[in-house]
Amino acid sequence: MKNFDLSMLLSGQYHEWLVSGIFLSVQLALITLVLAVPLAIAIATLRMAPFAILRGIAITYVEAIRNVPLLAHMLFWYFGAPEFLPDGIKEWLYDHNFEAASAVVALVLYTAAFMSEDIRSGLRSIPKEQMEAGRTLGFGFMKTMRLVILPQSLRITVPPLINQTLNLWKNTSIAMVIGVAELMYQAQQVESSTFRGFESFAFATAGYITVSLLIYGFSLIYQQRYPVRSV
């Protein structure tokens, strides 16, 4: 029976590969989160806009994105979208880490579509009288949403957004298919170099579980400190 040896991954070159993969995965998740949340808020707001054309644009975006696998999004933005660009620009992109940029674009669009539905649920939980009160004060739709509705829905919206962040963290692993050197990519590289599949993927699994537990722990702390109450 083959002996398993994790010590080879706790120091040296392979350890550095895996640790760099973890850091890149975390960077992908953080950058995506920073960009996806504002986009999700904008989409959710459009879903509740008084104009049918704006609601239609938001609905089309959400349904088109959510009903296509993230893997397809990754492949499209890396292999498909650049085909519409001039050859010079395309070559420049591929020479300047376009893999990571494509992964971020795909993750942002995909994550924002799901987050927007959670945010919309939070917005809809606010009594309609709040919107009427804002309009009575002379606020327009956007100003009422920004100053009256959004602040009240924050506590309701944050817990599901944390859950979406957990999904986002796991989804960063799909970036390996376009050559982004995140954790799963590096684990596969180690396995190919050492033929130690158990050790390399056990390390990757531990990395994903550790960050997932940190996110889950933050969720518990938030819910204990700011329990959701009916509006």
Rounded distance between C-alpha atoms, residue 13 and residue 135, angstroms: 62
- Specify the higher pLDDT residue, 154 or 166: 166
Dihedral (C-alpha) 187, 188, 189, 195: value to the nearest 10 degrees?
Answer: 100
Q: Is 144 left (phi over 0), alpha (psi -120 to 50) or beta?
A: alpha
Q: Given 3-state DSSP classes, what are the helix, strand and coil percentages for the chain, each rounded to the nearest 5?
A: 85, 0, 15
Instruction: Examine residue 109 and state whether it is found in any structural domain, yes or no.
Output: yes
pLDDT digits (tens, 9 = 90+) for 116-127: 999 998 888 888
What's the chain's average pLDDT?
Answer: 89
For residue 26, being part of any structural domain is answered with yes
Contacts of 131 (CB under 8 A, 6+ apart): 144, 148, 149
In a domain, 42, yes or no: yes
Q: What CATH number should be reported for the domain holding residue 118?
A: 1.10.3720.10
Answer yes or no: is 36 within a domain. yes
Q: Does the structure show a pLDDT above 60 at 6?
A: yes
Overall number of domains in the chain: 1
Residue 145: predicted pLDDT? 80
In this structure, is residue 231 part of a structural domain? no
| 230 domain residue, yes or no | no
> Where residue 1 falls among pLDDT bands split at 50, 70, 90?
very low
Give me the domain span that covers residue 47. Answer: 6-225
- What is the spatial distance between Cα 231 and Cα 219, in angstroms, rounded to a whole number? 21
pLDDT of residue 4: 72
Q: How far apart are the C-alpha atoms of 70 and 160, rounded to whole Å?
A: 20
DSSP output for 215-231: HHHHHHHHHHHS-----
The larger pLDDT score, comparing residue 135 to residue 2, is at: 135
pTM: 0.90
The answer as to whether 24 is a domain residue is yes
Q: Is residue 166 a contact partner of residue 216, using CB atoms and an 8 Å limit?
A: yes
